[in-house]
Amino acid sequence: MLELNSVLFYIGYRSTGNVQMSDQERFWAAIMVAAIFIGAFGYVIYKNLTNKGKEEDVGTEWDRGIIPLNFLPTTENIYEIFIASACAIVIRDLDNYYMKFPYIDKYLKNNFEHNYYYAEESYAYSMRHVVKINSLADWSNRNLKKGWKVKLINFLAGIALYDGGINEEEQRYLLALMAKLNLEITDFETVYQEKLTQKNERKYRAEASFSRKDSFYAILGLDKTASVEEVKATYRRLVKLTHPDRFMNESPEVQKEMSEKFREIQTAYESIVNP
């Protein structure tokens, strides 16, 4: 913009001042102004297209119930993860769902005091696009320490029990997620352990186990039924998002984290396409 102002000032000065512009000067001045305008317009179009593409990438993953790899574990984002996971347990008891949201809101307000807001849009979105259990577990295992994972699983158990009991679908989900988070039934609070019996733990833990190759698909945010073309397309997009060069101006912690994600994505891709 400064360059454009300088050119316009020069043209105005030459046209209205004591110095008369020649035809050749007017011609080249017009060319220069046109080039600057075209360049500025092209830059605006480029930024709009690239930003739109990024938004669609993230939106598409969330719409499929998959947490994007570049969704960093900030406190605010963990708050959103708790909302998404809450909706994932709520849909397993839709007859009593309306009774559970006061508990959810009270819990989040008490445990995320500095990040709390009544996220009505987040609730509505997460009820329509339920986060997949494998994606939730994979993201949590990569980004959360055990203390946070224990808080998450007990939060979900509290939601399930709030209406008086934990039904079979809720038990199945809680115990499967427990296994995927590498937790034990003893990590549940006592009141929840009484409802989640050892018999049910053995039954649902078996359902929760998945092979190492399945975990590679989870790292890429894909189902194990994904085609080779889908794997390759997702890999190309993810390595662009997590390439270390994109984070050269970030803190050392962020650089290290994204470098590890980059290597993890590469390992998962190679393991799938070259078993």
The whole-number pLDDT of residue 5 equals: 47
User: What's the CATH code, domain 213-273?
Assistant: 1.10.287.110
End-to-end CA distance of the chain: 54
Q: What is the pLDDT of residue 29?
A: 59
Tell me if the pTM is above 0.75. no
Model pLDDT, residue 84: 94
Question: What is the pLDDT, as a whole number, of residue 58?
Answer: 44
The number of angstroms, rounded, from the C-alpha of 122 to the middle of its chain's C-alpha atoms is 13
Centroid of chain to Cα 210: 23
pLDDT along the chain (275 residues), means of 10: 46 49 62 60 49 46 87 92 93 79 88 80 87 92 94 95 84 89 91 72 52 70 82 86 83 80 81 72
Q: Which of 170, 196, 195, 166 is nearest to 183 (CA)?
A: 196
Distance CA 129, CA 108 (A): 20
C-alpha 115/C-alpha 113 separation (Å) is 6
The string over 68-78, giving b where at least 16 C-beta atoms fall within 10 Å of a residue's C-beta and e elsewhere, is: bbebebeeeeb
pLDDT at 1: 46
